[in-house]
Amino acid sequence: MKKLRIPTVWSLLPGVLLFGAALTVHRPAKAVPAFAQQTGRSCAACHVGGFGPELTQFGREFKLGGYTLRLHGSVPLSAMAVASWTQTNKDQVPPPEHLSRNDNLVLDQASLFVAGGIGDHFGGFAQLVTDDGVGRAWSWDNIDLRAVTNTKLFGEDSVLGLTLNNNPTAQDAWNTLPAWGFPFTDTAVSATPDAGELIDDPLAGNTIGLTGYAWIGNKFYIEGGGYSSPSRGTLKFVGMDPTDPGSLHGLAPYGRVAYQTNLAGGTFEAGANLLKAAIYPGRDRSSGFTDRYTDWGLDGSWLKTLGKDSLSVNVRFEHERGDLRASCALELVGDGGDVGCARYHVNEWRAAVRYTWHGKVGVTVSPFSITGSRNFNLYDGNGLPDSNGVMGQVDFTPWGAGNSPLGPRFNARVGVQYTIYGKFNGRHHNYDLTGANATDNNALRLFTWIAF
């Protein structure tokens, strides 16, 4: 019997490229920060503190509506760059590749965007090219292309939409999930905990997914779909490592629900998410097994305007259960003698409380904690993934209201971050069994972030 070949989501690549080209030639389309011109509003209308990516209620509606709202035409190109200086509590030995042991001044990231709307039903945000100044590599970045329509569901004004994206949670309108969660800018210069979940970055840029969503009565959000892996050649073409973390077996289903309402004079949201994936590590299928992951999470946010000021709270909890049977069989983990050598679970929670004064000065406090099961095959030291600490940030955004002397499209933020670790990779002291302490990784970072 002749088998019917079902095309994967990646077969939509020509459509992605054509859609991106259409954004560049369709005059009403805009890019970040050209979205401000598209909507006829300043950056502060869509973004808390006048600078992305944290969204106001208006910004959430704009995104869920497919980026289609517009009043003016403009060139649909934009760019941004982030530079920083980082000092760790103790010198890093060995130092990061291409860098010094301490006091490193780097260009963290530079990106080119194209974005905007085409008519009333199509829109997109495409971070087409990003240069990683620390890793000295380039790649594509977050892509979110949408098709939307307005309708009535259960008697309520609603939006039905499709999103084609390359990073699970990049399509999300709340700043609780990993893609757009705090910290909104960080660096690869200083060390960070080893443990984390699959939904938090490993699939970013290495997958492409199609999900459908309904936004009902400005209160109920429901989304579902799946992700697949592009070919090895395609990933190399867009600057990604095709072997990291590997190729998905079939589709990886993703689901998301959220409820939003008014509470105590602000906007409150509570939600949940689920991702299941089976991966051939390094794209190696020879073991006959896959590495299996189940990630589920809960999140909540609250945003309130206080005159010229604002207060926002974002919290998320993520649980991952993994069984890396393929990695064990291939001796990527363990000695190959037990395919069950890497069964584990990890729990992570993060919160970010931000107060913005007059839309210019922001203060954020963000505690975090990672805990999980002991596994000496996965984690060095005492075999635990546990880490915790707190990050603080103070930033200044002088032109969030669109009053830059370089024109309304130019925006900038300068800031200082300090991260304190109470526990790092399992221990407070001697976590690597060679004398390193958690506080050695405490880091001071000064950054400048410009967009135009």
pLDDT confidence bin for 312, thresholds 50/70/90: very high
- Distance CA(326)–CA(284), nearest Å, equals 9
H or E stretch covering 58: helix 57-64
Q: pLDDT digit string (tens) for 202-257?
A: 999 999 999 999 999 999 999 999 999 999 999 999 999 999 999 999 999 999 99
Token pair 């497919």: residue: 66
What are the tokens at 375?
A: 């596994």
DSSP readout, 154-183?
Answer: TTEEEEEEEEEESSTTTT-SSTTSGGGPSP
Share in percent of the chain as helix, strand, coil (round to 5): 10, 45, 40
pLDDT confidence bin for 74, thresholds 50/70/90: low
pLDDT confidence bin for 283, thresholds 50/70/90: very high
pLDDT confidence bin for 337, thresholds 50/70/90: confident
Query: Is 23 exposed, middle or buried (CB count within 10 Å of its CB: 0-12, 13-18, 19+)?
Result: buried
Strand partners, 109: 82, 132
CATH topology of domain 9-451: Porin (2.40.160)
pLDDT confidence bin for 401, thresholds 50/70/90: confident
- Reply yes or no: is the peptide bond before residue 183 cis, omega within 30 of 0: yes
Q: What is the DSSP secondary structure assignment for residue 330, as one 8-state letter?
A: T
Q: How far is CA 196 from the centre of its chain?
A: 13
pLDDT confidence bin for 200, thresholds 50/70/90: very high
| Phi, psi for 328 (deg, rounded to 5) | -70, -45
**Among the listed ranges 23-37, 75-89, 91-105, which one has the minimum average pLDDT value?**
23-37
Return the closest-CA partner of residue 326 out of 378, 295, 293, 284. Answer: 284
Question: What's this model's pTM, rounded to 2 decimal places?
Answer: 0.89
Give the mean model confidence (pLDDT) for residues 105-130: 91
pLDDT (0 to 100) of residue 17: 39
Q: pLDDT digit string (tens) for 27-62?
A: 333 336 656 666 667 788 889 999 989 999 999 999
Q: Quick check: 421 pLDDT over 80?
A: yes
Burial code of 405-416, b = ≥16 C-beta within 10 A, e = fewer? Answer: eeebbebbbebe
* Polymer length of the chain: 452
Q: What is the DSSP secondary structure assignment for residue 48, as one 8-state letter?
A: G
What are the tokens at 350?
A: 């993060």
pLDDT confidence bin for 121, thresholds 50/70/90: very high
Give the mean model confidence (pLDDT) for residues 161-177: 97
Q: What is the DSSP secondary structure assignment for residue 96, as one 8-state letter?
A: P
What are the tokens at 430?
A: 């001697």
What is the SS3 assignment for 63-92? HHCCCCCCCCCCCCEEEEEEEEEEEECCCC
